[in-house]
Amino acid sequence: MARSDELIQELEHSDYVVIGTPMHNFTIPSALKAWVDHIVRVRRTFNATKEGYKGILRDRPVYVAVSSGGRYSGGLARQPDFLTPYMRTVLGVIGFTDVTFFSVEGSSLDQEAVTEARAGADRALREHFSPSCVWLHSP
Ligand SMILES: Cc1cc2nc3c(=O)[nH]c(=O)nc-3n(C[C@H](O)[C@H](O)[C@H](O)COP(=O)(O)O)c2cc1C
């Protein structure tokens, strides 16, 4: 309980949350699941009501950076994705609804695919954090 309190207080004092995670067996790795199990706590970070779960924590931006050996989104995906819907749902339970995902998908593919995936992630980050900027070329 002491560790759970500590991790929840860390969230309560944060302006935003950044999570970096690989995909393991189509979802989050067990270490991240252990963190989830410490911070999603009834009557502390959420209440169970007749209408469903109600988050207690103040909403704030959450950024989740995902790396995966294969692709899990888009037309070339050949595997299911239980990671993004799970994280969106479980963070929503405690009150975090402003969740943005960035990904480098295909880290085990050939070098060209990895370079492309990294460039895509860079682009997505720039577009998200500097929406008014026009990027003419990559530095
Ligand atoms: C136990 C384990 C399970 C994995 N499961 C998946 C998976 O389901 N889908 C996938 O695309 N990659 C999977 N991978 C590959 C990792 O997601 C990939 O290597 C990722 O780039 C690791 O992140 P890192 O490079 O930041 O360490 C798995 C790797 C490990 C070790």
CATH number at residue 55: 3.40.50.360
In single-letter form, the type of residue at position 8 comes to I
Instruction: Let me know: does 22 contact 29? Beta carbons within 8 Å.
Output: yes
- Range(s) of the domain holding residue 82: 2-128
pLDDT digits (tens, 9 = 90+) for 30-55: 999 999 999 999 999 999 999 999 99
Question: Which protein residue's CA is at the shortest distance from atom 30 of ligand 1?
Answer: 24
Quote the pLDDT of residue 36.
98
Q: Decide if 133 is inside a domain.
A: no
Instruction: Let me know: does 72 contact 105? Beta carbons within 8 Å.
Output: yes
Q: Decide if 137 is inside a domain.
A: no
Q: Quote the crossing angle between the two packed helices 2-12 and 30-39, to the nearest 10°.
A: 80
Domain count, the chain: 1
Q: Decide if 94 is inside a domain.
A: yes
Could you tell which of 107, 111, 114, 118 is best to mutate to test the pocket of ligand 1, judged by most ligand atoms within 8 Å of the CB?
107
User: How far, in Å, are 1, 47, 49, 74 from residue 59 at the CA level?
Assistant: 23, 15, 19, 29
pLDDT digits (tens, 9 = 90+) for 123-132: 999 999 986 6
